[in-house]
């Protein structure tokens, strides 16, 4: 379960010690590779706060983007891609519509499969344009970043982190097909953790558990067409055989936008930090959210690495 600082005095003492060192730490350099859309809106709040603490932030993004826009708070490095903003928006809206439509499991599976395939093709194309942009990659190599903050649904950030030999920090809601469970080695028993489309809770009877297990089988096919092209791209770029799972396992910190008020309880590993409160940055809520702790966790991590 999520760590509770008040119940762990040793952890609290360590955080206080790190906090006391922040005034002595120089601002560091953070490379950001985000996914377009809502993940960027949440991540931008964190980047603005980190910039206020004196850290240098460089964001790489495709020229065709729905939400990622340049601001004065960080350096934006745009790269050309083979599709337009209009094409991206059309495919994204069609995929959202498929997600919201009702129907049988098979109908929904096929529609989502097709939508994911279209978006995945565009994501792979965008990632390839980034990795093989020699001028931009040379700039990233010479910049000497302390860490890469990335949304790992599109594993382009992981590939760059591996190429640059810097730690990666994941900022995510979840990975498709339970890849986040496998990468973090979190227990994921079908008798306890509900699968997508089942609409079950963490309390299931025997027959529901059997159905939950059956619903897990398509995951092995649904994500195969998404993962394999990225593995091929990563292997060619890094010039060695590599899998997306290998890259995901190397993440130093998993910042997961979960909130157990809305999400069912699930086992978590020590390097997973629940940050669901960051989605409420502009809402007037009591000062008990996770956003300040998230910013501090990122800062403490990079201080430990000798940077931020």
Q: Percent of the chain beyond pLDDT 90?
A: 35
**Average pLDDT for the chain:** 81
pLDDT exceeds cutoff 90 at 224: no
Confidence tier at 217 by pLDDT (50, 70, 90): confident
Q: What pLDDT is recorded for position 3? A: 44
Q: Tell me the average pLDDT across 98-122.
A: 79
Spell out a b/e string for 234-263, using b for 16 or more CB atoms within 10 Å of the CB, else e: beebeeeebebeebbeebbbbbbbbbeeee
Q: Do 259 and 276 touch, CB atoms closer than 8 A?
A: yes
- The pLDDT tens digits of the residues spanning 6-24 come to 445 554 455 444 444 444 4
Residue 227 makes CB contacts below 8 A (sequence gap 6+) with 179, 243, 244
Q: Which of 11-25, 59-73, 206-220 has the highest mean pLDDT?
A: 59-73
Q: What pLDDT is recorded for position 243? A: 93
Between 156-164 and 105-131, two packed helices, what is the crossing angle to 10 degrees? 30
Q: Which of 193, 214, 196 is nearest to 266 (CA)?
A: 193
Higher pLDDT pick, 57 / 194: 57
Q: Tell me the average pLDDT across 28-37.
A: 90
Q: For residue 230, what are the CA distances in angstroms to 98, 178, 205, 237, 268?
A: 24, 17, 38, 10, 27
Q: What pLDDT is recorded for position 281? A: 57
Residue 63 makes CB contacts below 8 A (sequence gap 6+) with 78, 79, 80, 81
Distance between CA atoms of residues 254 and 247, nearest Å: 13
DSSP 290: S
Which tokens hold the place of 14?
A: 């360590």
Residue 213 makes CB contacts below 8 A (sequence gap 6+) with 190
Distance between CA atoms of residues 7 and 4, nearest Å: 6
Confidence tier at 49 by pLDDT (50, 70, 90): confident
Q: What pLDDT is recorded for position 255? A: 93
Q: Tell me the average pLDDT across 286-297.
A: 50
First to last CA, the chain: 28
Structural domains for the chain: 27-304 (3.40.50.2000)
Question: Which pairing describes strands 75-79 and 147-150: parallel, antiparallel, or unpaired?
Answer: unpaired
Confidence tier at 284 by pLDDT (50, 70, 90): low
pLDDT exceeds cutoff 50 at 270: yes
Q: Tell me the average pLDDT across 70-84.
A: 91
Distance between CA atoms of residues 180 and 201, nearest Å: 19
pLDDT exceeds cutoff 60 at 188: yes
Q: What pLDDT is recorded for position 168? A: 95
Q: Which of 144-153, 194-203, 238-247 is the least confident region? A: 194-203
pLDDT exceeds cutoff 80 at 113: no
Distance between CA atoms of residues 272 and 178, nearest Å: 15
Residue 239 makes CB contacts below 8 A (sequence gap 6+) with none
- Our measurement of the distance from residue 206's CA atom to the centroid of its chain's CA atoms, rounded to an integer in Å, reads 34
Confidence tier at 296 by pLDDT (50, 70, 90): low
Sheet containing 56-62, strands listed edge to edge, beginning at the edge strand earlier in sequence: 75-79, 56-62, 29-33, 147-150, 168-172, 253-256, 272-274
- The pLDDT tens digits of the residues spanning 117-172 come to 888 889 999 999 999 999 999 999 999 999 999 999 899 999 999 999 999 999 99
Q: Do 302 and 147 touch, CB atoms closer than 8 A?
A: yes
Q: What pLDDT is recorded for position 279? A: 67
Question: Which pairing describes strands 29-33 and 147-150: parallel, antiparallel, or unpaired?
Answer: parallel
């Amino acid at each position: 379960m999520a760590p509770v600082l008040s119940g762990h005095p040793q952890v609290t003492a360590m955080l206080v010690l790190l906090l006391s060192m922040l005034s002595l730490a120089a601002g560091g350099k953070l490379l950001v590779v985000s996914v377009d859309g809502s993940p960027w809106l949440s991540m931008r709040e964190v980047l603005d706060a980190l910039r206020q603490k004196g850290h240098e932030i460089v964001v790489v993004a495709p020229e065709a983007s729905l939400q990622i826009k340049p601001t004065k708070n960080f350096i934006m490095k745009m790269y050309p891609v083979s599709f337009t903003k209009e094409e991206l928006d059309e495919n994204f809206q069609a995929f959202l519509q498929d997600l919201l439509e009702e129907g049988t499991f098979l109908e929904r599976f096929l529609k989502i499969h097709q939508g994911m395939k279209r978006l995945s093709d565009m994501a792979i194309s965008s990632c390839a344009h980034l990795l093989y942009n020699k001028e931009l990659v040379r700039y990233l190599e010479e910049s000497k970043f302390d860490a890469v903050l990335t949304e790992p649904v599109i594993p382009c950030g992981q590939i760059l982190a591996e190429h640059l030999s810097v730690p990666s920090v994941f900022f995510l809601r979840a990975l498709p097909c339970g890849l986040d469970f496998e990468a973090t080695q979190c227990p994921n028993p079908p008798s306890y953790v509900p699968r997508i489309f089942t609409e079950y809770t963490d309390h299931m009877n025997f027959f529901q558990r059997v159905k939950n297990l059956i619903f897990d089988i398509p995951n092995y096919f649904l994500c195969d067409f998404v993962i394999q092209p990225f593995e091929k791209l990563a292997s060619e770029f890094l010039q060695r055989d590599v899998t997306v799972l290998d890259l995901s396992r190397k993440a130093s910190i998993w910042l997961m936008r979960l909130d157990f008020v809305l999400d069912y309880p699930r086992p978590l590993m020590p390097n997973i930090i629940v940050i669901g409160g960051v989605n409420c940055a502009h809402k007037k809520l009591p000062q008990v959210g996770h956003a300040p702790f998230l910013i501090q966790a990122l800062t403490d991590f990079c201080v430990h690495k000798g940077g931020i």
